[in-house]
Structure 1
Amino acid sequence: MSTAGHGARQQQEAARRSVEEAERQLAAARAREHAWSAGAAGEEQVANALAGLEQQGWVVLHDVAWPGRPRANLDHVLIGPGGVLVVDTKNWSGTVTAHPDRGLRSNGYRKTKEVQAVQTARQALLHLIPAVSPDIVAGLICLAAQDQEPVRLDGDVLVVGRAQLLQHVLDRPTVLGAQAIMETAMTLRAALTRQPSAHVPAQAGPGRAPRSVAKPRAGSTRSRKRPTRSPRSDIIQLAAIGVFVGAAVLFPEQLMDAYMSLVNAVVAPVAEDIGQNLQDNMVPTTTPAP
């Protein structure tokens, strides 16, 4: 025999788990928003630190496409007398150390993947400019929130603080002339510019004509780009779900009364109007006189 309130307690427990899950997702969304916000702020600070380079014969590219990786980007690419530099900005908090033997660490955790990513980015640039000697293409990690004199890690990745970055770039020995800088910059600018996404036609096989790409008609909803969801909108939606679930647990009767009031206030008048319109539009049938 079931005890009184057993079913309600089960529903309460299920609702409690839903609230906990919503709160967990809300906390995760807030953490992602904070990380992206900190990363954007660090890139802006480094860009400001590099502002004087163009007057010294350098070409500076910010937030460009990563070749072969549609969802990734390169924070900064510099082309100038000192060579070609790909700079990855890290806006880490806490204690950050860089040592030739012990590597790069943040709060005691070794950042091996981050160093390898810079090495991969450097190789991607080398494939784009094969005429340039590999010796003059370098990968840098810039610490936006720490002072750090240049330290070369294993794998030829350099770590430098934001305050020391500009001077390090200007102190590099001259390896490219003005003509080479212009040609290299033009090649990289064209290759690293993000292209709008488009439908790619299927490759034609032997004896097969390539399929044409259908262009969206004017006014067609298929040609509209779906707006990007921001972390803030996810937070608002999760918070709304948590409030609704909490209200359902704490005030079930009040919530049902509010729902029925909404139905009576909105649905019933609409149904009455529809019925009246149908009755008004009915054509009366006439019976011929005998």
Structure 2
Amino acid sequence: MSGVHAATDERARLRADCANCFGLCCVALPFAATADFAVDKEAGTPCRNLRPDFRCGIHARLREEGFAGCTVFDCQGAGQQVSQVTFAGRDWRTEPELAGQMFQVFAVMRQLHELLWYLAEALALPAAAPVHAQLRRARANIEGLTSGEAAMLAGLDVAGLRAEVNPLLLRTSELVRAGVPGRRKNRRGADLIGARLRGTDLRGANLRGAYLIAADLSRADLRTADLIGADLRDADLRGADLTDGIFLTQPQVNAAKGDAATRLPRGLERPAHWRA
């Protein structure tokens, strides 16, 4: 199996499987009444739309009911991992004493699964071969942590873990983007909120942590751009080419706007709410 296909299979596992989760995102996370959510909800309080079977009562009409924020969320498989592995099928509703720790572990697991997503991608990139051995060790360590006991996970130093992994991901990015011809733009952490970047050549650009909220990136060339941590909420990606974009996640894609002409990296799905 090629590295790309292996990474695709690995990342398929790192997607939400709501049927095997106890509605953790619908309870553990807070939200405020905005354009994305119709009401306020405190962390630890079940959403009013959560049914007794942990399914969403308005799943088919979330946007019409004012819960567009739910349609762009993806826990990257953390929900089912916490529900079925960490807590072995015991849920917060029948055993309310588990709730606090379960929600705390869910927050940690989301970050671990995000790191696993990045590591799976990095290991599939031939240009990153010089750091593959280190990447494999990092992945094995994190996979071991995801199978750990709840108490350990709740107290895990995720910031410290990220500090260990981030240099490897940065080196991966540098190795991959070095193969892009021409001058590569460095807009790391840049404030590009609402920026007019329609049709811009951003091949191999460093957009790590850039604020691209509501930016016009329609028809932009984002091939092999590093998009780790970039805020793409409401960014216009209609007709944009993100082929081989580095470290782009499904939640980032879900939060943006696109259409049938938007080209995505292998392993990412076109959101149902995008225009045809």
Higher RCO (C-alpha under 8 Å, 6+ residues apart): 1
Q: Report which of the two structures shows the higher radius of gyration computed on alpha carbons.
A: 1
Between Structure 1 and Structure 2, the one with more helix by share is 1
Q: Same fold (TM over 0.5)?
A: no
Between Structure 1 and Structure 2, the one with more strand by share is 1
- TM-score of Structure 1 vs Structure 2, range by shorter chain: under 0.3
The TM-score with structure 1 as length reference comes to 0.21
